[in-house]
Structure 1
């Protein structure tokens, strides 16, 4: 076999191909695939992120809508009552938030004219004046019991009604003329006199018999409801 000269070997090695290179087209193709995958993942993330945010906002808006509906219903109720008596007018601010059931019932009865012509049946000086029948739960009986004070909830010039289930015949009104804490277990306070304290005191000073009934008829001519005073 003939020997290959070194120069021939050198020429053969030069003719051998080097390592294969990746074409530019392939690089661009794979780069586009990566970009598309990135856009897909970003779009998916934004979709679910926006969906979660919208669900949270919808839930919040529903809650706020319910609250605003309740608040609007409260705001639609009259906030004040004017008791026009034979001695003058007594303006009362109604406690719509702290005693909503009593206020609702009071407003309903006012609209039906329940208190028109109602007399003050009991007047106890430095204690309370009571309009209505109130048989069996009279303020005079409470006064005679002399219960010990438990709190100062019932301040002077507070409007209340007796606790328990009411009917149109026994929904009575009480206006305290002094701090009377022993009425806490007897009355539901649902308002406060803001004008006309002098009228309350004038009624308080009338002459009464031994049963605390005024000797002259004093009553409520009518009650008007107001949003603002």
Structure 2
């Protein structure tokens, strides 16, 4: 029996202990597994980051929606009133900021048709025309007498202002005054809540009608209806 040389045995032992080669199929298999795991992690990250972004946007949109709702409530209030009279239309800008409570009451009465058919029962030339529920003869005449004494020295307001009497309206009704000339110390007499911006000629036409000794028009002139508008 032939003897195997020690050098040959050593080489044979190294060949047995050496690492076996990994097949290409195994490499592809492990690569696919790693790719699937990476894709799953990336998809999970995209999902949760997108969900977090949408939640923050929803919260922001809700907050903005609430602010828009509040602002829209303010903007929804009519800013103008059109008094359609038997002589023509008078367009009035309402002072929503300076007299909010009176404007709210006026708008509410307009929506209820309160002023429909209401007459101008006092007409004082170069001073004021009056319509409304309070048809007493003392107040406007007193304005006229006291006002003319101080017209030159104390003019605080221009013509074509819309106002109503001070005091509780539920006691004497809601009356309307449109000035046709500057009235001294107007704030002591009425609450101004608007101004005529179109239809001054109609106001002047009403002002020129014939009246009796109590400043009551001899021919009836009234408000047909009132239309509220956001813009004109």
- Distance between the aligned counterparts of 1:175 and 1:21, measured in 2? 102
Q: Which residue in the other structure is 2:85 paired with?
A: 83
Match of 2:178 among 151, 175, 178: 175
Alpha-carbon distance change, 97 to 9 in structure 1, aligned in 2, over 3 angstroms: farther
Within 5 Å, give how 1:1-229 maps onto structure 2: 5-18=6-19, 23-24=26-27, 25-61=29-65, 64=68, 74=78, 79-84=81-86, 89-96=87-94, 98=96, 100-107=103-110, 110-111=113-114, 113=116, 115-116=118-119, 118-120=120-122, 123=124, 125=126, 127-131=127-131, 132-133=135-136, 135=138, 138-140=142-144, 143=147, 144=149, 148-149=154-155, 154-167=157-170, 169-180=172-183, 182-185=185-188, 186-192=190-196, 194-195=198-199, 196-203=202-209, 213-214=214-215, 217=218, 220-226=221-227
Q: Is contact 1:83-1:224 (8 Å) kept?
A: yes
Q: Give yes or no for contact 1:119–1:217 (8 Å, CA) kept in 2.
A: no
| Secondary structure in structure 1 of the residue aligned to 2:208 | helix
Structure ranking higher in helix proportion: 2
State the 1:128 CA deviation: 2.6
1:13 shift after superposition: 3.2
Deviations 1:117-156 (A, max 9, x none): x520x6263x333444375575236625667455xxx432
TM-score of the two chains, using structure 1 as the length reference? 0.64
Q: Which runs of 5+ in 2 are unaligned?
A: none
TM-score (norm: length of structure 2) = 0.63
Verify the 8 A CA contact 1:92 1:159 in the aligned structure 2.
Answer: no
**In structure 2, how many angstroms separate the alpha carbons of the residues matched to 1:207 and 1:111?**
25
**Secondary structure of the equivalent of 2:39?**
helix
Task: For 2:191 and 2:137, locate their aligned partners in 1 and report how far apart those are by CA, in whole Å.
Answer: 12
The alpha-carbon deviation at position 91 of structure 1 amounts to: 2.4
Aligned residue-pair number: 209
Indicate conservation of the 8 Å contact 2:129/2:207, yes or no: no
What SS is found at the alignment partner of 1:115?
A: coil
Residue 31 of structure 1 and its aligned partner are, at CA, apart by 3.0
CA deviation string 1:21-65 (max 9, x = no partner): 694233432332222122112112222322333444455456546
